[in-house]
A and B are shown apart, each in its own frame.
Chain A
Amino acid sequence: MAVAEVRPVLHGFRGQEIPDFDVIRSCVHCGFCLPVCPTYRVTGRERSSPRGRIWLMKSIAEGRLDLFDPLFEEEMTLCLDCRACEAVCPSGVRYGEILEASRAQLVQHRPQTVKERFLRFLGFQVLLGDLRRFRAANRLLRLYQRSGLRALARRSGLLRLLGMEHADRLMPEINDRFVVADGSFYPATGERRGRVALFVGCVMGTSYAHVHEATIRVLTRNGFDVALIDGQGCCGALHVHSGDPESGRRLARRNIDALDSPYIDAVIVNAAGCSAVLKEYPHLLRDDHDYAERARAFSAKVRDVIEFLVERGLSAQPGPLPMTVTYQEPCHLAHAQRITRQPRALLEAIPELRLVEMAESALCCGSAGIYNLLRPEMASTLLERKLDNALATGAEAIVSANPGCMLQLQAGLRARGERVPVLHLIEVLDRAYAAAPATRPAEALAAD
């Protein structure tokens, strides 16, 4: 029986950002990645597995599959870039790197629709290109949420008409005050152990400004001066993940210029997506003559706040917090940075707090940056699965450490009418400190 006619191959990888063939062929197709891949678990199709996707990339590199084959684009966008596969890969295939390069190939060579170009420009250049504009837009959103306009838009069916219902549901509540990188400085309380810069970012500074405030309190209480150095901007993760590394590089250079200071010991990040990409600046800027070396030095100082607190040890003992929580692992913390032990260690350091592990805590919740806007169907399948697992623990709060996951979980819980709150791990720690007497001798958690 003859194989059906195969489509002719006209387009291969070319130009900028060609997926590294040596990385592609470091995959020995052992299949260990299959059971941890969210899209494979849902579809059961090999094409939607990391191994399948790498084989598709390889087929393009070898001229057996066309770059514009709809199958390829479909798979490159269906992938969440959660990188769970990397964490279990014995061969150490740098999957995220070749996936992002493949996406960059598609963005580069495939004709884009006017709508797509407009949205990219609006989101990536206008809003995230300068955080002042991002904050201004957030103020407008807050007005929309509070003035009754939202209620009106929902009631009138206008949202449905514009196809914005889904986006509206995912929109976070905007805080009434923002945390801005304006050069402010918060001195350590108690014995001083060092000085750190807080990476402010986009949504963490607006919708999650209260998490930033908690982070500052926890860090100062543990003996660290916290500086909100001005000049920093968006981390560039969304750009890099969606095939626009050039914009990512521009943002990376700006952050390095702003934050690369000899006077700070570490750059502290409380959004896992941001800390992951900040640590990848050396790869992003590998061909930049002026910045490659600086990127390496800069990234060596980047720490996720959870990682940092466990590395340096808590110098102040948290107070008791009698509640039951479950922990949902942000992919870019657990998989991209392999930080899985530390969040649990911090939670366990809080007296009377009970951590109940959920099933599949390391399976993506479906948020994945802007994925939940682009691929709502897969995103909500994964979200429902995540909520089922989380709620089955009977926890009084779901703890996470990344704004994307938190937005996604909050939207899902709202839709279900559940009252279980979603908290950033640092918020939990901050509450525990609030319950502690002001000065208590250090013990709790020893440094690594």
Chain B
Amino acid sequence: MDRQALRERLLRIVGPDGIIDDPDELLVYEYDASDEVFAGHHRPDITVLPRTAEQVQEIVNLANEFGIPVTPRGAGTGLAGAALAVRGGILLVMTRMNRVLEINERDGYAIVEPGVINLELSQLTQPRGYFFAPDPASQRACTIGGNVANNSGGPHCLKYGVTSNHILGLEVVLPSGERIWTGGPAPESPGVDLTGVLVGSEGTLGIVTKVMVRLTRLPEAVNVLLAAFPDLESASQATSAIIAAGILPAALEMMDQLTIKAVEAAFHAGYPEDAGAVLLIELDGLAEIVAESAERVAELCRQCGATEVRVARTPRERELLWLGRKSAFGAMGRLSPNYYLVDTTVPRTKLPPTMRTVEELSREYRLRIANVFHAGDGNLHPLILFDRLVPGEIERVLRCTTDILQYCVDVGGTLSGEHGIGFEKRDYMTLIFTTDDLCAMAGLKRSFDPRELFNPDKVFPSGFSCGEVNALRQQALAQRLGIEFV
């Protein structure tokens, strides 16, 4: 490839301020928030920072012309290596496209560019009585574009649903270079649901340049309770009891002792450090109902063995409790230089035995595991702590991860709750999907991106990229039909 020619052409599109090609400066684009041991270091050939959708389109056309890969990236807060340029090429950093283009509270939507920070959108719409419901823990830093790519979750998704429930439409640049709009403000749009296909596709099918998001009305009242339990088991039971009582909290989060210690050290959020586990429960809605549910929840917690139930009295107390929860991953740096996030989901009723299994595996592999998770959704986040400089630890982390995932899949769970598959979890896809399942996905990818230029080597396990998919599909078909293709 002619680097110089590519550089010249990109310069004409975005100007000197929009490209970074000094190899030393590119060092800072070789990581995201995932652990480097598992995701590795991947330096792009060139980083490009576009400001408009037209520029994105031109860059994609150029990538086609030169036949080089394009990897989109938001704030780089992803935990699965999805924003890493693993095959080099262009890293397309979308953070400068950060304008809020329209807020239409009457029709309940906003149109934003992908680089807008999640929390800043909610801060902007809050005075008008609305918010953007998906609230990943990284919401202070992560971008809406990244949320769309990963179909991100967050504590409040228990009641409000994940990102895909809040995306009404998208403007996307396709690998072919076409720029299209999918969806729209109407509740239902005819034809194939392309918005649904694109949300969660991790930048493998298209690059989002505008997002039409649903705005949700702020609840009349909010109440946050903190319940302390002697162990994870009793906290899990309380979770089931609350849901079984027909109460749907806005959020229902659990943290174990290790996590409590880390976040207390970070922010003095006010969690009881001697508790074996805590539940953070947020109730919202009409004031009367919230007050009534809060009493009921407190009672259920005590019945399940809660040693203490506290109610956040002021918005400041509420904010602090949430700050602690939302900083939990980052706070792992206080416990250990490296951590590996396992992002798995099990049916809620399977939480107690799953927690027991995680504890057993922690002992068996001699690895500390911190647990912080969306209990209400059954979305676990065992954080395996390790030090990459200690010989043999990485190996044990990998084996432990596989065992946890295998167990979760066996009890009817799945591989990823909300953080995506990206680069470093893709080989686990075969745990839950059959060859046919993967072939169907790869076929879709192929129809969008036959040259495999958009975020290559992501989501699909190695060996299942669309190049190989036809052969596999034919093989399977041949077996089933008992015929031979020549």
**A contact set with B: CB distance below 8 Å:** 1-7, 22, 25-35, 44-47, 49, 51-52, 55-56, 59, 64-65, 69, 71, 88-93
| Contacting pair A3 B265 (CB below 8 A) | no
Residues of B within 8 A of A69 (CB): 24
Look across to chain B and name the residue whose beta carbon is closest to the beta carbon of A87. Answer: B267
Question: Would you list the 6 A-B pairs with minimal beta carbon distance, nearest first?
Answer: A91-B333, A90-B330, A90-B327, A90-B331, A52-B28, A30-B330
For B68, the chain A residues whose CB sits under 8 A away are: 1
Categorize the interface residue count of chain B: 35 or more
Least Cβ–Cβ distance between A245 and chain B, in angstroms:
25
Do B24 and A6 touch (CB < 8 A)?
yes
Contact of B140 among A1, A27, A32, A64 (CB under 8 A): A32
The distance in angstroms between the C-alpha atoms of A134 and B459, with both chains bound, is 64
Contact A29 B33 (CB under 8 A): yes
Residue of B21, B96, B329 near A4 (CB, 8 A) is B21
A–B Cβ pairs within 8 angstroms, 10 of them = A1-B45, A4-B3, A4-B23, A4-B45, A26-B333, A28-B35, A31-B77, A46-B93, A56-B27, A91-B333
CB proximity to A under 8 Å, residues B170-197: none
Looking at chain A's contact residues, the main secondary structure is loop
- For residue B67, give the distance in angstroms from its CB to the closest CB of chain A: 9
Whether the pair B76, A93 counts as a contact (CB closer than 8 A) is no
CB <8 Å contact, A55 and B28: yes
Q: How far is the CA of A253 from the CA of B11 in the complex (A)?
A: 54
Task: State A4–B328 Cα separation when bound (angstroms).
Answer: 38
- Asked if A1 contacts B77 (CB within 8 A), the reply is no
B168 on interface, CB distance cutoff 8 Å: no
Does B95 make an interface contact (CB < 8 A)?
Answer: yes
Q: Chain B residues near A34 (CB, 8 Å)?
A: 75, 141
- Chain A residues with Cβ below 8 Å from B77 are 30-32
Q: Is the CB of B141 within 8 A of A7?
A: no
Given A47-B25, A71-B25, the answer on whether A29 and B32 have CB atoms closer than 8 Å is yes
Tell me if B384 is interfacial: C-beta within 8 Å of chain A.
Answer: no
**Nearest chain B CB to A358's CB is how many angstroms away?**
15
Q: Is residue B5 within 8 Å, beta carbon to beta carbon, of the partner chain?
A: no
Interface presence of B432 (CB below 8 A)? no
Q: Is the CB of A31 within 8 A of B76?
A: yes
Is B43 in the interface zone, CB < 8 Å from A?
A: yes
Closest residue of B by beta carbon distance from A93:
B333
Q: B266, A92: Cβ atoms under 8 Å?
A: yes
Cβ of B244 to closest chain A Cβ, rounded Å: 34
A149 nearest CB across to chain B (Å): 42
Known: A30-B329, A65-B24, A69-B24. 13 other contacts (CB 8 A): A28-B33, A30-B77, A31-B75, A32-B330, A33-B141, A46-B28, A55-B27, A65-B27, A71-B25, A89-B330, A90-B331, A92-B265, A92-B333
Measured between beta carbons, the chain B residues less than 8 angstroms from A30 are: 33, 77, 138, 141, 329-330
Q: Decide if B28 touches A35 in the complex (CB within 8 Å).
A: no
Residues of chain B contacted by A2 (CB below 8 angstroms): 88
Give A33 to B140 CA distance when docked, in angstroms.
9
Checking A7, A22, A90 against B263 with a beta-carbon cut-off of 8 angstroms, the contacting residue is: A90
Residues of B contacting A91 with CB < 8 Å?
A: 266, 330-334
Known: A30-B138, A91-B332. A64 touches B27 (CB 8 A): yes
Kindly state the separation between the CA atoms of A44 and B73 in the bound complex, as whole angstroms.
Answer: 13
Q: Chain B, 257-279, contact with A by CB distance < 8 Å: what is the 0/1 string?
A: 00000110111000000000000
The answer, among B21, B29, B49, B141, for a CB contact under 8 Å with A32, is: B141
Whole-angstrom distance between the alpha carbons of A76 and B223 in the complex? 45
Q: Is B89 part of the binding interface, using a Cβ–Cβ cutoff of 8 Å?
A: yes
- B339 on the interface (CB 8 Å rule)? yes
Docked CA distance A55–B265 (Å): 24
Please tell me if the beta carbons of A47 and B23 are within 8 angstroms of each other in the complex.
no
Contacts of B266 in A (CB 8 A): 89-92
Whether the Cβ atoms of B117 and A44 lie closer than 8 Å is no
**Is B20 in contact with chain A by the CB < 8 A criterion?**
yes
CB of B181, distance to nearest CB on chain A (Å) = 26
CB contact list, B339-382 vs A, under 8 A: 339
Is the pair B333, A1 in contact by a Cβ cutoff of 8 Å? no
Contact B45 A56 (CB under 8 A): no
Assess whether B332 is in contact with A28, with CB atoms less than 8 Å apart: yes
B337 within 8 A of A: yes
* Pairwise interchain contact A55-B330, C-beta atoms closer than 8 A: no
Tell me the bound Cα distance from A55 to B49 in angstroms.
20
B314 to chain A, nearest CB (A): 12
With A3-B88, A4-B21 given, is the CB distance from A46 to B333 under 8 Å? no
Contacts of A33 in B (CB 8 A): 141
The B81-113 residues at the A interface (CB cut-off 8 A) are 88-89, 93, 95-96
A59 and B27 contact, Cβ closer than 8 Å, known pairs A1-B88, A32-B140, A93-B333? yes
Closest A residue to B263 by beta carbon equals: A90
**Whose C-beta in chain A lies nearest to the C-beta of B77?**
A31
B1 located at the interface, meaning its Cβ lies under 8 Å from any Cβ of chain A in the complex: yes
With most chain A CB atoms within 10 A of its CB, the pick from B140, B266, B332, B333 is: B333
Let me know if B484 is at the binding interface, CB within 8 A. no
B28 contact set on A, CB distance < 8 A: 46-47, 49, 51-52, 55-56
B229 at the interface (CB under 8 A from A): no
| B33 to chain A: closest residue by CB | A30
Interface membership of chain B positions 36-52, coded 1 if the CB is closer than 8 angstroms to chain A and 0 otherwise: 00000001010001000
Asked whether any CB of chain A lies closer than 8 Å to the CB of B22, the reply is yes
* Closest residue on chain B to residue A66 by CB atoms: B24
The CA of A31 and the CA of B1, in the complex, are separated in Å by 33
- A32 contacts which chain B residues (CB < 8 A)? 77, 138, 140-141, 327, 330
In the bound complex, CA of A1 to CA of B332 (Å)? 36
* Cα–Cα distance between A3 and B77 once the two chains are bound (Å): 24
**Which residues of chain B are near A22, meaning CB under 8 Å?**
337
Interface string of B110-140 (1 = CB under 8 A from A): 0000000100100000000000000000101
Closest beta carbon of chain A to B268's beta carbon, Å: 10
Residues of A within 8 A of B263 (CB): 90
Nearest B residue to A69, CB-CB: B24
Please tell me if B464 contacts chain A, counting CB pairs below 8 Å: no
Q: B155 → chain A, closest Cβ, in Å?
A: 16
CB of B423 within 8 A of chain A? no
Q: Across the interface, do A26 and B3 meet the contact criterion of CB distance under 8 Å?
A: no
Distance, CA A30 to CA B43, complexed state (A) = 18
- The CA-CA distance from A31 to B142 in the complex, in Å, is 8
Contacts of A59 in B (CB 8 A): 27
Q: Is B386 interfacial (CB 8 A cutoff)?
A: no
For A90, the chain B residues whose CB sits under 8 A away are 262-263, 266-267, 327-331, 333-334
Min CB gap A303→B, angstroms: 19
Q: How far is the CA of A90 from the CA of B372 in the complex (A)?
A: 15
In the bound complex, do residue A35 and residue B27 qualify as a contact, i.e. CB atoms below 8 Å apart? no
Q: Is the CB of B333 within 8 A of A28?
A: yes
Residues of chain B contacted by A89 (CB below 8 angstroms)? 266, 330
A6 contacts B330, C-beta separation under 8 Å: no
B460 on interface, CB distance cutoff 8 Å: no
Indicate whether B31 reaches chain A with its CB closer than 8 angstroms: yes
Q: Are A29 and B24 in contact (CB under 8 A)?
A: no
| Contact assessment for A44 and B333 in the assembled complex, using a CB-CB cutoff below 8 Å | no
Provide the bound-state CA to CA distance between A52 and B265, in Å. Answer: 24
With A69-B24, A90-B328 known to touch, is A28 a contact of B265 (CB < 8 Å)? no
